[in-house]
Each structure stands twice: as structure tokens, then as C-alpha cells.
A and B are shown apart, each in its own frame.
Chain A
Amino acid sequence: MKVPTMASLLAEGKSPDILFWVGCSGSFDDRAKKITKALVKILNHCKVNFAVLGTEENCSGDPAKRAGNEFTFQMQAMMNIQVLNGYEIKKIVTGCPHCFNTLKNEYPELGGNYEVLHHTQLIQDLILTGKLTLEGNQSFKGKKITFHDPCYLGRANDVYEAPRSLIEKLDAELVEMKRCKTNGLCCGAGGAQMFKEAEKGNKEINIERTEDALETNANIIATGCPFCNTMMTDGIKNADKEAEIKVMDIAELIANATDL
């Protein structure tokens, strides 16, 4: 798989149009790595001049900040900003809404000013500019797809339409859960919950959310966040519905539809 790094491009005297910020999940989590690869396939297919930081990438600091450790967050942010500014990065696409939110909203005050896109926004751009076409694809014909809004994409940044417009391009039926868009229910992983056990209650949040998804009778739960993906996948396993319903990232749906 062709994945140019910033360091290698610099050595060749080149610079990319856009940096792909992979994120920790996308780099290390086995399930999320598939999403990362799907996005790289799309970028390569569309001949996007991109690069990754590779080993120079570091946690954005989101979970530290949400856990209340502003020191760790700002240390991460400053180090990342030094690297990004060193490479004179102007435009970034992230594979994770948490990185997206942090880079887009919290880095500017610390000296990191970039145009930051979530991968669903970039793919939407690629389609709008004619670089990617999904005409005639049959992969998802007749399938029902529901979209689970990641909190850090939806409510946090008001991005609701980009992922939905991509599902509509798939010639599949988009079915909404009773709680969607601004009313979307969290998967339970945000605010550093991904890294700890939930407090005592009578239910896990991801089970509650999975029930919303199952009610739609969808074949696929689409998400745009590696954490949501983990939580929904666990919810589906818990409900013993792995045969009936799959959890997929929008990037994977698009890569599949383009036979990548």
C-alpha cells in the first residue's frame, strides 16, 4: 500500500496538498486500521497528493483534555503543532472526529492553524469535484443503512450532512434512528470513557444505542468514528446480531462501492 510520509516527501523535495492525520485508533486498533486503509485506498484511487506523519504523529491529546488533564493535553498539542508547523502543513484530513475536533477547534489558540476536514467531508469534496465517482455501483443496492452520528462530528461541529450525502450516493436506503442528528445518542465512548469502565448504572450506553440501531432493521450501521465503531460493534455482539447487521465506517462503504 502506497503511504507516503512527510519525512520521505521532504527528502524528495516535495510537499503534499493534504496531511492525513491517522490518529491513535487508526494506527494501532486492529478494527480501526481497516478504516485507515480504506481511506488510503480512496486517496490513492483519486490520486490525492497526501502524506502521513507516520512515527512523528502523536496523540492529539483529546482524551487527556476530556479527562481533565490540561497539562498532558497542551504538551501533546504543542509537540504536534511544532511538527505540523515545521512541515508547513496547511490542510489536514482526520480519520477520527475526536482528532478532527481537537485539531480544528483547540489547536488554533496554541499556534496551530490548519484547514481541518473530517474524512467524510473530504470524500464528499472528491465526489463534488469529480475525482471520485460512484455511478453504477451495485454493492449496496437494496441495503438499508443507518448512520450513527459521532458526537464530536455532529453536535460538537455541526457536521450532519456530509456522511449522509455519501450514504445516499451508494444507492442504498438511508434509515434514521429515532434519535439522530442533533438528538443523536452518544455511543458511550467520548469524554475519555473509552479508556475506563462506566460508572454503575442499569445499562451500558452502547447497548442502549445499539437498540436504537436494531429498531431500524438496517443491514449496516455506518459511523465515522473509530470509537463509535468499537462501541457499536460490541453492542451488536452483545445482542448476538453479528450475522444480521454490520458496523462499517463511511470510508469502508465508499471503498467497497468503488471496488477498492
Chain B
Amino acid sequence: MIEIIIFSILLFSGFGWFAYNVSKVRYNILLGRDVDRSGNAKDRWKTMLLVAFGQKKMFTKPIAAFLHLTLYVAFVITQIELIEIIADGVSGEHRVFRSALGGFYTFTISFIEILTLLAFIGTVAFLARRNLLKLPRFTMAELKGWPTRDANLILLMEIVLIVCIFTMNGADEAMQEESYGFLISSFVGATVFNGMPQDTLHVLESVGWWGHFLMVLTFMNYLPYSKHFHIFLAFPNTYYSNLEKKGKLSNMAAVTNEVKLMLDPSADPYATPVSDVSPSRFGAKDVTDLTWKNLLDAYTCTECGRCTSSCPANITGKKLSPRKIMMDTRDRLVEIGELKRKNGNDYEDGKSLIGDYITEEEIWACTSCNACVQECPINIDPLSIIIDLRRYLVMEESKMPTELTGMLTNIENNGAPWQFSPSDRLNWANED
């Protein structure tokens, strides 16, 4: 009975704490500007099914995609076993689904075990890839320190989860006179746990069971602090993907109003209320000037670095890294979100995304080639953040590389980015 109570308290507080942290993340994301991503439900579901559920974009790197797939499928399927653990925990029964499901139960657990074994291999391979092979995209500057520890910690937690499952099932198998017939753990039971006294096996089974349950709660509650939150956020993030052509940048509505007034001298500037579209500033100085989708992107990023390894600026040694843009956006959002929650929505701390986190040098190195957007397996768009930061620098601070000032002046004065006379525009037609 006491076990049921302890279990229920842990279960309730674990999920409760997770829900609290999710609400904090939601608050932070909604600090962003609004952007319309409604409508097109059919296309949105399709995108989500293909890109998040089907992991379509992962397969540009087939080995990583396969290893990732084993972890992903194992994670999804293992939830069945977790449901049983919860059912056992609150009822005090042992393998509560077994009698009802019979042979199908054996099949299901065996299936989970095969996937879990594959996931184990995948996890070890991922650990090796990061720590032994030292893949360039996992050893870049922005991953030094916490991000690397975060990544390894997640993989180690997964190993603990898997070891607990096999300890639980293996010890249970060894205790039985007649095997359950679970594909992997009947073998584990017969080899690892063979000959151990029943008491020891019972303890080991309990350790595995409780260990797995506690690890699940720990893992779940670690997610909102970690880059690993993508396992949930990939779904809404792909659902709310930009469905337009990648080349299309947003047209700022506030600017449209002003330009219309400028081009039409007879227009009455007070005729139409523009307040509903006037932003507090042009472009983005801080994360709160970005859209909620940009901020959702930042929380969804799992720091895989495919964006950065395809970025022409980064490949050629410039400071720009699209992954760092996403990491900085998230770090800044967590910081300012916490402060605003404590001190009210209008609180400012004098810091900003551009300047304190992202340097001007980084964003001016971007060629807007969309390689990062193309590569992201969960449709994150670093380019729109870069463009919004440029907009702030140019339109609010008039800060830009000097050559661009000249280019813009040329466009404004003579309708071309170079200093040519507009009257010479058709000269080519009369040249040989």
C-alpha cells in the first residue's frame, strides 16, 4: 500500500512539475510578436506527418537518420510499457496487461525489447560520434561547455532507461519457472541473472522497475531545460512551418503604410488608423521583437548543427553559425522571460539579442542562401531571425557595412545598386 502511495505522489508531482515548466516555456514563446500561421490545415498536417512524424528530412544523412530512427521508434513504442508501469504502480499489480493480452503481450514486449536493443546500439553510436569521432559539427565553439554536457547527459539518461528495462525484465524472467518468452530478456535472464537467489532477483527487478520509472520522470522534467525538447516541439513546430516559398521574405506591414503615404501626397495621414500594425520598433533588437514562431523554433532546436555545416559563411570560416543564432535566441529568451515573469511584462534589463548575444559581424556574413532552412530536419528558420536583426540595425540604428550604405543610396537615387544613370538603362540594346 505504501508503495502505491509513494508511486502516486511521485507520478503526480513529476507530471505536475513538467506541466508547470511547459507553461513557463509557453509564456516565453508568447512573448513574441504575432505572425499568422493559421489556415491550410491540410498542408500543415501533411508537413507535420512527413517532416516530424516521418522524419523525411533526416534522411539526407542516412546513417544518422537510421540511428535516430531506432531511438525515436523505441521511444514511441516504449510508452506502452510505461503505461503498464503506471497501471502497475497505482494498482499494485504485477504486469497488469499480461493476463488480458496473452500472446499479444509477449509479442508487444518482445517488439519493444528489440527496438530498445537497437536504441541502445544507437545511443552508444551517438555517444561515440560525439566523444570519440568528434564530428566537426559537434565540436564547434558554440557547443563548448553546457551544450556538450547537455547532449551527453541525455544520451546517458537513455542508457540508464534501457539498462533499467532489461534489468527489470531480465530479473523477472529469471524468477519465473516458465519463461515469459520475451525475446531479449529471456536471454538476459538466462545469462546475466542465472542462478541468483530469488530474493536478489526480486530486488533487482524492483530496482529496474523503480529505476525506469524515476528515470522517466527525471528525463521528462529535464526536457524543458534541455535541447532535447524537440521530441515534443518538433510536432507543433513543423505544423506551423512556413508554407510559402523559401525565397519570400515577409513584407513589413507598418512600412507599407508609410510608403503608401509617401507615394501618395494627397493621402490623409490620419485617415487610416495604423496603430494596429505599427510595431514598437522596426526589425528585431531583442527576442520579444521576433515572432512567436521564431521563439518556438529556438525551443525546438536540438543543436544538431546540420544548418551550420551547410552554411556557406560558416564553411569558409566566418563567425556566422545558424545554430548559434537559434541557441542565442533561446538563451536570451529564457533570461528575459524569467525576468519578465518576476518583474512584470514591461520589465527591461538593458540587454538585447543583437549586441549582447549575437554580434553584427555574424549577421552580416549571411548570404540568405536558405541552406540552413533547407537542412533543418524540423523546419527551423534561422534566416528570418537574421533578416529581422538586420532590419533593426539598418532602419533603427543606420548601422551597416559602409558599402551597403552606398548601395542603398544608389538604389534610392538612380534606381540601381550601382552608380549608373537611369537614362543609360537601355544602352545595351544599341551596343554590339
CB of B394 within 8 Å of the partner chain:
yes
Pairwise interchain contact B408-A67, C-beta atoms closer than 8 A: yes
Number of A-B contacts (CB under 8 A): 217
CA distance A203 to B316 in the complex (A): 5
Complex CA distance for A59 and B420, rounded to whole angstroms? 12
The distance in angstroms between the C-alpha atoms of A63 and B412, with both chains bound, is 12
In the complex, the answer to whether B316 meets A202 with C-beta atoms within 8 Å is: yes
Nearest-Cβ distance from residue B385 to partner chain A, whole angstroms: 12
Q: Does B44 contact A (CB under 8 A)?
A: no
- Min Cβ gap B425→A in Å is 5
B352 vs chain A, min Cβ distance (A) = 16
A193 at the interface (CB under 8 A from B): yes
* Residues of B with C-beta under 8 A to A183: 60, 310, 371, 374
Shortest Cβ gap from A112 to chain B (Å): 11
Spot the interface stretch: B10-18, B140-148, B329-337, B362-370: B362-370
A residues within 8 A CB of B367? 151, 186, 188-191, 193, 205
Given known A-B contacts A63-B407, A199-B319, A68 and B395 have beta carbons under 8 A apart: yes
Question: Among the listed stretches B28-36, B72-80, B154-162, B396-404, which one makes contact with chain A, having 4 or more residues with CB under 8 Å of it?
Answer: B396-404
Contact with B along A74-103 (1 / 0, CB 8 A): 111011001000000000000000000100
Identify the stretch in A154-162, A214-222, A233-241 within 8 Å (CB) of chain B at 4 or more residues.
Answer: A154-162
Which B374-406 residues sit within 8 Å CB-CB of chain A? 374, 387, 389-395, 400-401, 403-404, 406
Encoded as 1 (CB less than 8 Å from any B CB) or 0, chain A from 52 to 63 comes to: 101101110101
Interface residues of B in 194-242 (CB under 8 A from A): none
Instruction: Indicate if B170 sits at the interface (CB-CB under 8 A).
Output: no
- Whether A67 and B394, one on each chain, are in contact in the complex, defined by CB atoms closer than 8 angstroms, is yes
Q: A36-B428, A71-B395, A155-B369 are in contact. Are A24 and B310 (CB under 8 A)?
A: no
Q: Evaluate whether A54 and B425 lie within 8 angstroms (CB atoms) in the complex, with A61-B411, A69-B394 already known.
A: yes
- What CA separation (Å) do A104 and B248 show in the bound complex? 9
What count of chain A residues pass the 8 Å CB interface test? Answer: 72
For residue A199, which residues in chain B have a CB less than 8 angstroms away from its CB?
313, 318-320, 361, 364-365
State which of B371, B417, B426 has its C-beta within 8 Å of the C-beta of A186: B371
Interface residues on chain B, size class:
35 or more
**B100 located at the interface, meaning its Cβ lies under 8 Å from any Cβ of chain A in the complex:** no
Q: A105-B247, A190-B369, A202-B316 are in contact. Are A67 and B400 (CB under 8 A)?
A: yes
With known contacts A191-B366, A195-B417, A156–B318 Cβ distance under 8 A: no
B325 to chain A, nearest CB (A): 14
List residues of chain A with CB under 8 Å of any chain B CB: 1, 3, 5, 22, 24, 26-28, 33, 36-37, 40, 52, 54-55, 57-59, 61, 63-72, 74-76, 78-79, 82, 101, 104-106, 109-110, 151-152, 155-158, 182-183, 185-186, 188-205, 207-209
Interface residues of B (CB under 8 A from A): 60, 244-249, 251-252, 255-256, 258-260, 262-263, 282-283, 310, 312-313, 315-320, 361, 364-371, 373-374, 387, 389-395, 400-401, 403-404, 406-408, 411-412, 415-418, 420, 422-431
CB-defined A-B contacts under 8 Å, sample of 22 = A22-B425, A27-B427, A36-B428, A40-B429, A59-B417, A64-B407, A67-B394, A68-B395, A69-B408, A101-B247, A101-B248, A185-B312, A186-B369, A188-B312, A194-B417, A195-B407, A196-B403, A196-B407, A199-B320, A200-B319, A205-B315, A208-B316
Which of chain A's residues have a CB closer than 8 A to the CB of B283? 68, 70
In Å, the complex CA distance between A153 and B236 comes to 29
Q: Which residues of A contact B394 (CB under 8 A)?
A: 67-69
From B60, B282, B404, B426, contact of A192 by CB (8 A): B404
Contact A156–B370 (Cβ < 8 Å): yes
The distance in angstroms between the C-alpha atoms of A68 and B320, with both chains bound, is 17
Do the beta carbons of A205 and B426 come within 8 Å of each other?
A: no
Cβ–Cβ < 8 Å partners of A79 in chain B: 263
In the complex, how many angstroms separate the beta carbon of A181 from the nearest chain B beta carbon?
10
Identify whether the interface residues of B are mostly helix, strand, loop, or mixed. helix
- 6 further A-B pairs in the complex, CB-CB below 8 A; given A27-B427, A199-B365: A55-B426, A64-B408, A70-B255, A192-B368, A200-B319, A201-B317
What residues of chain B lie closer than 8 Å to A71, measured between beta carbons?
A: 255, 258-259, 395
In whole angstroms, what is the CA distance A47 to B339 when docked? 67
What's the nearest-Cβ distance from chain A to residue B30, in Å? 25
Q: Which residues on the A side are within 8 Å of B60 (C-beta)?
A: 183
Q: Given the complex, which residues of B lie within 8 Å of A78, measured CB to CB?
A: 259-260, 263
* Contact yes or no, B426 A3, CB < 8 A: yes
Please name all residues of chain B whose beta carbon is closer than 8 Å to the beta carbon of A69 when the two chains form the complex: 391, 394-395, 408
Residues on B with C-beta less than 8 A from A74 are 251-252, 255-256, 259
B138 to chain A, nearest CB (A): 20
| A186:B249 contact, CB within 8 angstroms | no
Identify the closest chain A residue to B248 (Cβ): A105
Q: Which listed residue, B371, B387, B428, touches A66 by the CB 8 Å rule?
A: B387
- A186–B247 Cα distance when bound, in Å, is 14
Q: Which residues of A contact B244 (CB under 8 A)?
A: 105
Residues from chain A with a CB closer than 8 A to the CB of B256 are: 74, 110
Q: In angstroms, how far is the closest chain A Cβ from the Cβ of B368? A: 3
Cβ distance B251 to chain A, nearest Cβ, rounded Å: 5
Q: How far is the CB of B315 from chain A (nearest CB, A)?
A: 6
Beyond A67-B408, A192-B407, whether A151 also contacts B428 by CB under 8 A is no
Residues of chain B lying within 8 A (CB to CB) of residue A193? 367
Once the chains are docked, how many angstroms separate the CA of A105 from the CA of B366? 20
B369 touches A204 (CB 8 A): no
